[in-house]
Amino acid sequence: MCLDKQTEFMQEAIRLSIENVKSGNGGPFGAVIVKDGKIIARGANGVTSTNDPTAHAEVVAIRNACKELGTFQLDGCEIYTSCEPCPMCLGAIYWARPDKMYFANTKKDAADINFDDQFIYEELELPYANRKLTTEQFMREEALEAFRLWASSQDKIEY
């Protein structure tokens, strides 16, 4: 893809992040999804305006793109995001399976303004008993029934 188009797409993600701060709708984050050289979806952080902790710009953009395309995967798409994604958004991006991701600000830049996700990365490596969030497993055998049904289902859609 032409660098000028890539610049245009990143500028739009950055514009969304700036507008989001000015409007008071949420944090300083924006994202766009591109397919076939055109923006098909946009997203801006709406955590505080929607009372939804998952309403990060990348997740909003992914939801909008999947709705637009009528699919749960973003094959043939690229995502441009104003900041290096947090662990949740990075996971969502991997699950959505776009072809490529571009980002502007780094996670250190985000940490410098108190959006520090390092503690999540560290928590994921700890045994359950050592995590800040009390975590306890129980009723595994009962829950395995859903997995057995999934494994033997002929009607499932793999993802």
Catalytic choice (19, 58, 84, 158): 58
CA dihedral 17, 21, 23, 27 (to 10 degrees): 80
Through-space distance between the first and last CA atoms of the chain, rounded to whole angstroms:
28
Task: List helix spans (H) across the chain.
Answer: 3-23, 47-50, 57-69, 87-96, 107-112, 118-125, 140-152
Do 45 and 105 touch, CB atoms closer than 8 A? Answer: no
Q: Is 123 a catalytic residue?
A: no
Per the rule left: phi > 0, alpha: psi between -120 and 50, beta: everything else, 35 is beta
Take residue 37 and report the two structure tokens written for it.
């050289």
In degrees and rounded to multiples of 5, residue 113 shows phi and psi of -115, 25
* Residues forming the active site: 58
